[in-house]
Amino acid sequence: MEQGVKERLIQIAGPENYTESLIDIVAYSYDASDNSGRPCAAIWPRNSGQVCEIMRLAWEKNIPVTPRGAGTGLAGSAVPAAGGIVLDMSRMIRILEISIADRLVVLEPGVVYEDLDRALAPYGFFFPPDPASGKVCTIGGNVATNAGGIRCAKYGVTRDYVLGLEVVLADGRLIKTGARCMKSVSGYDLTRLFVGSEGTLGIITEALLKLVAKPAWARTALVHFATLADAGQAVYEANATRYLAQLDAVEAEVKAAIARIPADRRKAITSHDAFGYFVKAYGIEFIAPQGVSTEAEASAKDVGRIIRQIKAEKIPAVFLENVTNPRLVERIAKESGAKVGGQIFSDALSDAAGPAGTYIAMMKHNISQIEKALAAGPA
pLDDT tens readout for residues 75-86: 899 999 999 999
Fold of 95-213: 3.30.465
Statement: residue 191 has pLDDT above 80: yes
Window from 126-140, 227-241, 284-298, 316-330 with minimum mean pLDDT: 284-298
Distances (CA, A) of 63 to 72, 95, 172: 24, 31, 13
292 pLDDT band, cuts 50/70/90, is: very low
Statement: residue 182 has pLDDT above 90: no
- The most confident of 11-15, 217-221, 257-261, by mean pLDDT: 11-15
Distances (CA, A) of 295 to 8, 202, 314, 323, 353: 63, 52, 28, 9, 11
Fold of 3-88: 3.30.43
The predicted model gives 214-237 an average pLDDT of 74
The predicted model gives 354-375 an average pLDDT of 60
89 pLDDT band, cuts 50/70/90, is: very high
Statement: residue 349 has pLDDT above 60: no
347 pLDDT band, cuts 50/70/90, is: very low
Distances (CA, A) of 227 to 221, 223, 230, 231, 236: 18, 12, 5, 7, 15
Helix (H, G, I), strand (E, B) or coil at 379: coil
The predicted model gives 23-41 an average pLDDT of 94
- The most confident of 40-54, 240-254, 365-379, by mean pLDDT: 40-54
Spans of all domains in the chain: 3-88, 95-213, 228-376
Statement: residue 291 has pLDDT above 50: no
pLDDT per residue as tens digits for the range 48-77: 999 999 999 999 999 999 999 999 998 899
Q: Please give the pLDDT value at position 267.
A: 59
What is the overall mean pLDDT for the chain? 79
Maximum CA pair distance of the chain?
87
183 pLDDT band, cuts 50/70/90, is: confident
Q: Please give the pLDDT value at position 304.
A: 74
Task: Give which of 29, 27, 144, 31 is closest to 82, Cα–Cα.
Answer: 29
pLDDT per residue as tens digits for the range 238-267: 666 544 444 455 555 555 665 666 666 555
CATH class name, domain 228-376:
alpha beta
